[in-house]
Amino acid sequence: LGPEASQGGERAEQLGAATGAVAVTGPGLRVVVDDAPDARADASGSPRTDAQADLGRVRDRDLQVVVNGLWSAGAEAVAVGGQRLTARTAVRGAGEAVLVGYQPLAPPYEVEAVGDPDALATGFARSAGGRYAAGLADYGITVRVDEVDELHLPAAAGLRPEAARVLDADGGSPP
What are the backbone dihedrals phi and psi of residue 38, each rounded to the nearest 5 degrees, phi first? -90, 5
| Separation of alpha carbons 113 and 115, rounded Å | 6
Which tens digits make up the pLDDT trace of 12-66?
Answer: 766 666 677 788 999 999 999 999 987 765 555 544 455 555 789 999 999 999 9
Q: Which residues contact 33 (CB under 8 A, 6 or more apart)?
A: 58, 62, 63, 66, 107, 108, 109, 111, 133, 136, 141, 142, 143
- pTM to 2 decimal places: 0.78
Upper half-sphere CA count for residue 31 (Cβ side, 13 Å): 29
The mean pLDDT value of the chain amounts to 84
Which tens digits make up the pLDDT trace of 77-92?
Answer: 999 999 999 988 899 9
pLDDT attached to residue 48: 47
pLDDT, average across residues 160-174: 67
Q: Cβ distance 81 to 110 under 8 Å?
A: yes
> pLDDT-based confidence at 172, cuts 50/70/90?
low
Q: Is the peptide bond before 175 cis (omega within 30 degrees of 0)?
A: no
pLDDT attached to residue 168: 74
Burial class (CB in 10 A: 0-12, 13-18, 19+), 175: exposed
pLDDT, average across residues 102-121: 96
User: Domains of the chain by range and CATH?
Assistant: 22-39+53-153 (3.30.70.1880)
